[in-house]
């Protein structure tokens, strides 16, 4: 975690203090310091919250849907995806996952065409699945990272 790496001396110090013996009768019931454990826990949770906030501003989850669907529309225009692909992507975005048996209904196609749509989305990594009968989930392939999650990776400085 980058947040811990930036504050390594504080992290190590607070973590080491957790192994100290308690300082008085009010410092927990065991042999180790409960106050030190509480300070470390508070520090660790603050770092975690900071990292979640950082990633939220970087990823902009409220705009992820628009970026994914814009990519799908562009791919459909150039013939890379079937016209019903955006329906499946949108369903997965809203539900988190989509049972494969519902793909035809969601796409508004027959079973055979739905399988083709799903296969194309799986092939380019837009969707992922643990197995052939498992639900479909949104994939985040590296080739689409810049389109779907702009700013997540630093810009290349190739000269």
Q: Where are the domains of the chain?
A: 2-59, 61-148
Q: Would you state the pLDDT for residue 64?
A: 86
Asked if residue 75 lies in contact with residue 85, where contact means CB atoms within 8 angstroms, the answer is: yes
Q: Within 10 Å of residue 144's Cβ, how many Cβ atoms?
A: 16
Q: Within 10 Å of residue 96's Cβ, how many Cβ atoms?
A: 10
Ordered per-residue pLDDT tens for the chain, 159 residues: 678 888 999 999 998 888 877 776 666 666 778 888 899 999 999 999 999 988 888 778 778 889 999 999 999 999 889 888 999 999 999 999 999 999 999 999 999 999 999 999 999 999 999 998 999 999 988 888 888 888 777 666 655
**pTM reported for the whole predicted model:** 0.66
Query: What is the topology classification, in CATH, of domain 61-148?
Result: Arc Repressor Mutant, subunit A (1.10.10)
């Amino acid at each position: 975690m980058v947040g811990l790496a930036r504050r390594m001396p504080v992290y190590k110090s607070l973590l080491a203090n957790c192994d100290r013996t308690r300082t008085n009768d009010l410092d927990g019931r065991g042999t180790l310091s409960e106050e030190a454990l509480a300070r470390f826990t508070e520090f660790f949770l603050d770092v975690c919250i900071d990292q979640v906030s950082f990633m939220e501003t970087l990823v902009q989850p409220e705009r992820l849907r628009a970026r994914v669907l814009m990519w799908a529309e562009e791919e459909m225009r150039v013939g890379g995806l079937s016209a019903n692909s955006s329906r499946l992507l949108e369903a997965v975005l809203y539900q988190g996952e989509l049972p494969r048996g519902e793909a035809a209904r969601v796409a508004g196609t027959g079973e055979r065409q739905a399988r083709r749509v799903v296969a194309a989305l799986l092939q380019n990594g837009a969707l992922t699945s643990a197995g052939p009968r498992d639900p479909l989930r949104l994939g985040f392939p590296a080739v689409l990272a810049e389109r779907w999650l702009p700013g997540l990776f630093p810009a290349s400085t190739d000269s």
